[in-house]
Amino acid sequence: MTKQVFLSPHRAYREAIRPQAGETTFQVVLEQTDLFVTAEQDLAQPMLDLVRGLRGALKSFMLLTPGFRESLVPVPAPESAPRIAREMAKAAQAANVGPMAAVAGTFAQLVADHFAPQSPNIIVENGGDIYMHSTKDRVVALLGDPASGARLGLKLGRRDFPLSLCASSATIGPSLSLGQGELVVVRSKSGAFADAAATALANLIDTGDDLDLLLARARKLAPLGLEGVFAQAGGKLAVWGKMELVALEEG
């Protein structure tokens, strides 16, 4: 049976996000960057300005650094490079993937960190990669199958933040995955590392039988900043680290 692949640009899961009291949601889109933000106030315009600056710096660096965009293996970035490129390169080196495997998580963290002084509760979601500052408990849904919706969530306490959760999937979205897993989610304090590690771990999965291999690799990445991992493939689940799962209420 062929696994269904979901490539729609419409991110229906965002419709289920419910801000808490005193919070609002808004979207910031510029070229390929599409952020969905929960914050204490509408920061869309200044956030768009920041995203424009980050994208401009990264695009200029990539023009001067052949292979940085296309490589599937680490590419170094000098100290003179923009911060976004340095963070991506560092995470890629740690996870042994290409720098672009870390781009979404890096964007999410840089944006969230920048605006956290104005909004201590801020959640920046960038295509399934999330960076969060929060003074409240949260539950983040784990979406392994868009057709049936999310049934499991990750419970997070206020002392867990700031925190990144980044996802990689061979069946959801257009991002490149060399594996066949439905969902891999990595928890880390670093958005760049969580994103790169999620890609590296997802690349290991061809069937559900590969989840033990994934967990072994995840443990080796723990000293570099991996705090937990959730994986779903072939009807099987694997969980390791700081991942308190809860059942989500239907509807």
Tell me the pLDDT band of 93, cut-offs 50, 70 and 90: very high
The domain segmentation of the chain, as residue ranges, is: 14-247
Specify the pTM. 0.89
pLDDT tens, residue by residue, 207-232 = 889 999 999 999 999 999 999 999 99
With a pLDDT cut of 90, the percent of the chain lying above it is 76
CATH number given to 14-247: 3.10.520.10
Q: How confident is the model at residue 235 (pLDDT cuts 50, 70, 90)?
A: confident
Question: For 16-70, what is each residue's pLDDT tens digit?
Answer: 677 888 999 999 999 999 999 999 999 999 999 999 999 999 999 999 999 999 9
How much is the pLDDT for 171?
54
Q: Following DSSP, what letter does each residue of the chain receive, concatenated?
A: -PPP-B--S--GGGGG----TT-EEEEEEETTEEEEEEESS--HHHHHHHHHHHHHHHHHHHHHSTTTTT-SS-----TTS-HHHHHHHHHHHHHTS-GGGGHHHHHHHHHHHHHTTT-SSEEEEETTEEEEE-SS-EEEEE-S-TTT---EEEEE-GGG-SEEEEEE-SSBSSS--SS--SEEEEEES-HHHHHHHHHHHHTT-SSGGGHHHHHHHHHHHGGGTEEEEEEEETTEEEEEES-EEEEPPP-
pLDDT tens-digit map of 132-190: 999 999 999 887 665 556 688 999 999 999 999 999 986 544 454 444 558 999 999 99
What is the average per-residue pLDDT within 77-86?
Answer: 97
